[in-house]
A and B are shown apart, each in its own frame.
Chain A
Amino acid sequence: AQTVTQSQPEMSVQEAETVTLSCTYDTSESDYYLFWYKQPPSRQMILVIRQEAYKQQNATENRFSVNFQKAAKSFSLKISDSQLGDAAMYFCAYRRPPMYSGGGADGLTFGKGTHLIIQP
C-alpha cells in the first residue's frame, strides 16, 4: 500500500519569507500523481499544485512550486513571499493512475498534514 509522510506537524514563517514543506511517499509504481492541498480554517479543500510523475519538470503555480525528486520519492512544496492568507493546513497526497478495468481505487492517499503559521 502506498504511504505518504509529512514529517513537519507544524511550521512557522515570517510574512514575505519563503517556506518549504516536506513530503515523502512510498510506492512501487512508476506512474502516478502527486498533489498539495490547502485547507484553511473554512475546512475547504483547495488544490494548490499537481505533479505528474512522468514529467521531469517541477510544477509551478504563481508563488507555489514543488521540488519533485522521483528517485528519492520526495515532493516538497515551496511557498515564496508568504502571505497571511497562506496560513492553513497543507496536505500532500498521492494517487495511482486510474485503472479502467477490473476496478481499483482512483482515490487519494493523504499525509497527516502540516499546519503552516504565518507570523506578521
Chain B
Amino acid sequence: EAQVTQNPRYLITVTGKKLTVTCSQNMNHEYMSWYRQDPGLGLRQIYYSMNVEVTDKGDVPEGYKVSRKEKRNFPLILESPSPNQTSLYFCASSLIGGRAFFGQGTRLTVV
C-alpha cells in the first residue's frame, strides 16, 4: 500500500530537549516536504527536498533542520524545541509535479 508514515503520532517534550520526527515513503517519490498546521493559519511549509541530499527552506524554517540521506526518508529535527513549536506536523511526498501524499500527522507539544 502506497503510504507516507510519520512517527511518532503524538509527542510531549520539554523545552530544549532535542527530538526527531521521522517520515518515510514507499512510493519512490523525489519530492518530500514538512508542514506545520496551526489554528487559524492553515498549513505552512517548513522545509522541502527535491531529491537525495537536496534540501531547502520553506516559509517557516526557523528552529528546524532536515536531512535527506536516502530517497525514502526525510526526518524533521528540532535541536532545541521551544513552546512556539507546539503544533501539528505533516510530512508529504510526491513525484515532481505530481499529487501530494500526506502522512497521518504528528501532534507535538513542547512544555
Q: B88 contacts which chain A residues (CB < 8 A)? A: 43
Q: How far is the CB of B1 from the nearest CB of chain A, in Å?
A: 14
Q: Choose, from B20-28, B43-51, B62-70, B74-82, the stretch at the interface.
A: B43-51
B42 touches A112 (CB 8 A): yes
Q: How far is the CA of A107 from the CA of B58 in the complex (A)?
A: 8
* Chain A interface, >50% SS class: loop
Partner of B96, one of A9, A44, A93, A98: A98
Q: How far is the CA of A111 from the CA of B90 in the complex (A)?
A: 16
Number of interface residues of A (CB under 8 A): 22
Total residue contacts A-B, CB cutoff 8 A:
56
Q: Are A50 and B99 in contact (CB under 8 A)?
A: yes
Q: In the complex the two chains form, is A44's CB within 8 Å of B105's CB?
A: yes
Please tell me the number of chain B residues within 8 Å of chain A, measured between CB atoms.
26
Write out the residue numbers on chain A whose beta carbons fall within 8 Å of the beta carbon of B100. Answer: 47, 108
Q: Is the CB of A110 within 8 A of B50?
A: no
Q: Which of B31, B50, B88 has the most CB of A within 10 A?
A: B50
Known: A98-B97, A113-B42. A107 touches B102 (CB 8 A): no
CB distance from A104 to the nearest CB of B (A): 8
B-binding residues in A (CB < 8 A):
4, 9, 43-45, 47, 50, 91, 93, 97-98, 100, 103, 105-113
Cβ-defined contact, B44 with A45, below 8 A: no
| Chain A residues with CB under 8 A of B45 | 105, 107-109
CB-CB under 8 A for A108 and B99, given A43-B104, A44-B105, A103-B50: no
